[in-house]
Chain A
Amino acid sequence: MDKRVAIIGCAQSHHQYDVQKTREDLVFDVAKEALANAGILREELGTVVTASTDFLDGRTISNVFLSMAVGAFLKDESKVEEDGATALQYALMKLLAGAYDVALVEAHTVGWQFNPHQVSFYTIDPLVDRQVGLLNDISAAAIQARIYMDKYGVSQEDLAAVAVKNLSNAASNPFASRRLPDVSVSEVLKSKLYYEPLRELMISPVTDGCAVVILASEDKVRKLGCCCPVWIEGVGNCQDAYLRDRNLLGMDSLKKASASAFAMAGIQDPFNDLDVLEISERYAHEELMICEALGLAREGRGKELVNKGVTSMCGELPVNPSGGALGADPICATGLVRVVECVKQIRGEADGHQVGSVKRALAHGQFGICAQKNTVVILGGE
């Protein structure tokens, strides 16, 4: 990248199910907080990119009544129906193109309104799988988990260990929704069985939440005199084929997305070059698969990262110190929440779940059944 873009402010809501706020207030409060965090006024904004979907929000053109709340009155505004991390990429492209110099990225989902798993049923092929009527994101993920476990000899306990790590991490993150400090493997394995082998605590909780990130181009960062900008060093995005024609065993699209992000950021050895990872693992087994796809472990050996404590809060390479998506999963916002958490880690502001000094962090967002679409963002400090 010839030009550089930094994150100058961010904020997130306290994610929880059935939050006692309207959708408008939820977004307004977080947007206001992010602007304050960046130390700028709404008037400085050039462009606004929001992320939400019509089916999740229960409104056609879901952003239309939120333009005022997010601060887009007479501003360039558009909505991507994607994960927040992809929205961040779109805003980044607008800044790199030189059309604007400050961008606000907002992502939200109110899971309380309508079961997002039902919405995932509406995303599948209406001519085939919707007619058969069996698939939704959990059942598809369960089949994927089964294939993965069979191939590499991963046990239920290994999946439970991932849930234990993330849920107990979430306990020290005040923004997370499912916070279980002393949860044990046996408790996870005793929780309600949805689609075998996935149990309630291995599935991300349905959450209402919102996240906002403010980006600025390098010149503007200097002009505004921002004290602690976090630079976007690389992004990558890739979408896979539809479920029926995909290799369910590996995350091919994530491999491609991370390869382009690593190339952009000049990362050769992700294990040593990165200090912390925040990934969107909707299901426990996905964390293992994502870690493998990112090149942190060889294929099928992801469980060792967890079992040996490498990715624990005080391990060599912490993954999801905030609890990840298992801690709170406001669908569209999840990827952007990961970005916010990375920014907090780099700034050293992650109260309670700071992992020491962080120079470079990776945030990952996913969308679609079995992580069909993946976005990887590499962030770095000054």
Chain B
Amino acid sequence: MFRNCAIIGCGQTKHSSRRRDVSVAELVGQAVDAALLDAGITMKDVGCVVSGNMQGFGGVAQPDLWIGDWMGIPGKPAIRIATGGTTGGSVGQGACYTVASGMYDISLGVAWEKHSDSKEAGATTGLMHVGMGNLFHALTYGLSLKNLIATTAVGAAAGVAVYQARFYMNRSGCRQEHLDMVAAKARRNAAKNPYAHLQWPNCQPSDIAKTELIAFPFRYGHVCPASDGASAIVVAEEKTARKLCKQPAWFLGMGSYSDEENQLQSENYGGVGVIDPSEQMGCRVSAQKAYAMAGITDPQKEIDLAEIYQPFPSQELIFSERLGLFDDGTAWRHMEKGETDINGRMPISVSGGVNATNAIGSSALQRILEAALQVQGKAGEHQVPKKVRKAVAHGWGGVTNYITVTVLGNSPR
């Protein structure tokens, strides 16, 4: 890349299911404030603002036009990036590109979601709206209601993830109890992260196993919540970063590749050529690109920590393999041995991850932010004991076909 840039400030809000105390604009303002404070700069120093969320969930189109005032946008260049679940990841990378291009010296990346603004639980209409056109189309050609329920409602919140989990379990030999373990780990870790949503100190797999079954293999205890929250990062070029920050988290590599739709549907209810939604070719390619940029040849040895976008526990296992952290089909064995725990060999999602806190638009930015905190050694109670030299942050979205992979390090390339 042209010039080095680094994260010098991180800010996030407390996440919970209903942040009724603030309007969405004020929520965003809180995260931005915290990030500026952390970076030790004022709004005047910021050159460019990159922001994003999922507009259908909050019911405001192009919210940056209105909320811009709370992000310090007036009179500044601004870009709004929205790519579904990966929005946050794309925003983080966008903030990096604006600085790396040489156009601006300090950029602010902001992402947020306020699910509770929607009257439906989890903003259902906004979510279903992804395939609404397809659905209306299929209904005119006699899609039976029973089949519709089979395809959409059985999975409910789980959607395609339940099939994806099934594919993964079939090819790797992972069992339902391993999903319980991952979910319990996420809740446990979240208890150490004051900003996280679903906190459950000392949660054990047996606690998760007691929750009701949604559709095998998923239980209610496996599912991510719908949170309100915002996060923001400050990205600066090399000289500024060194001046302002003792230990910046340097951007080493980035990739965000899109695969063919993985969710059985393409535009206008067509089919797709992906048999196995747990294949995730996009993630492999993104990781390749990001590692090549970062000069990483053996991710298993060189990566110290991963923040994975895992709304469902199976995805932590799938994507840790796809990011090259474990061999194909072995992630659950390593997890079983405790290697992905907070004090393990390859700590994964020590913040609790998306499984514990899911403000969709901001979730992927939070992965970058949490990885940066670990690299900077500022994570507090959930800081991993070992030194973090290189960390990878992952984002996942679209109809399970968009991936962002960002590699951060404690020294520039």
Contacts and interface: CB of A to CB of B under 8 A. Distances in A.
A61 B84 CA distance: 5
A90 to B, nearest CB: 6
**Size class of the B contact interface (CB-based, 8 Å):** 35 or more
Given A60-B129, A67-B258, A79 B83 contact: yes
Interface stretch (B220-228, B259-267, B330-338, B349-357): B259-267
A73 B74 contact: no
Interface string B99-124: 01111000000000000000000000
B256 interface: yes
Interface stretch (A143-151, A234-242, A284-292): A234-242
Interface core residue of A23, A73, A78, A241 (most chain B CB under 10 Å): A78
B23 interface: yes
A94 interface: yes
A373 B94 contact: no
Interface string A39-62: 000000000100001110011110
Interface string B47-90: 00000101111011111111011000111111111111010001
Given A58-B133, A60-B130, A79 B81 contact: yes
B127 interface: yes
A64 B130 contact: yes
Contact of B257 (A65, A74, A96): A74
Given A64-B401, A240-B74, A78 B90 contact: yes
A80 to B, nearest CB: 5
Nearest to A91: B97
The main secondary structure of chain B at its interface with chain A is mixed
A200 to B, nearest CB: 24
Contacts of A125: 66
A272 B282 CA distance: 49
Interface in A171-211: none
A73 B64 CA distance: 29
B174 to A, nearest CB: 26
A250 interface: no
A281 interface: no
A122 B79 contact: no
A2 interface: yes
B141 interface: no
B72 to A, nearest CB: 11
A93 B103 contact: yes
Given A53-B61, A239-B73, A253-B75, A64 B255 contact: no
A76 B93 CA distance: 12
A27 to B, nearest CB: 10
B41 interface: no
A54 B84 CA distance: 10
A222 B8 CA distance: 38
B54 A61 contact: yes
A127 B24 CA distance: 10
Interface in B381-403: 397-399, 401-402
B102 A82 contact: no
A64 B402 contact: yes
A93 B93 CA distance: 11
Contacts of B293: 99
A97 B2 contact: yes
Contact of A78 (B56, B83, B129, B133): B83
A81 B62 contact: yes
B285 interface: yes
A109 B132 CA distance: 17
Contact of A89 (B55, B79, B93): B79
Nearest to B259: A74
B117 to A, nearest CB: 8
A24 B133 CA distance: 13
A242 B68 contact: yes
Given A53-B61, A123-B62, A239-B78, A76 B255 contact: yes
A90 B79 contact: yes
A94 B75 contact: no
Contacts of B82: 54, 61, 79-81
A59 B132 contact: yes
Given A24-B267, A59-B130, A95-B101, 12 more contacts: A2-B2, A65-B266, A68-B261, A74-B281, A74-B282, A89-B79, A90-B79, A122-B59, A123-B61, A241-B69, A241-B73, A368-B62
Q: Which 9 A-B pairs have the closest CB atoms?
A: A61-B84, A97-B100, A96-B101, A65-B267, A93-B101, A241-B74, A55-B61, A77-B258, A122-B61
17 contacts: A2-B2, A22-B267, A59-B131, A60-B54, A61-B130, A64-B261, A65-B261, A76-B289, A77-B83, A78-B94, A81-B81, A90-B81, A94-B101, A95-B101, A96-B2, A96-B103, A240-B75
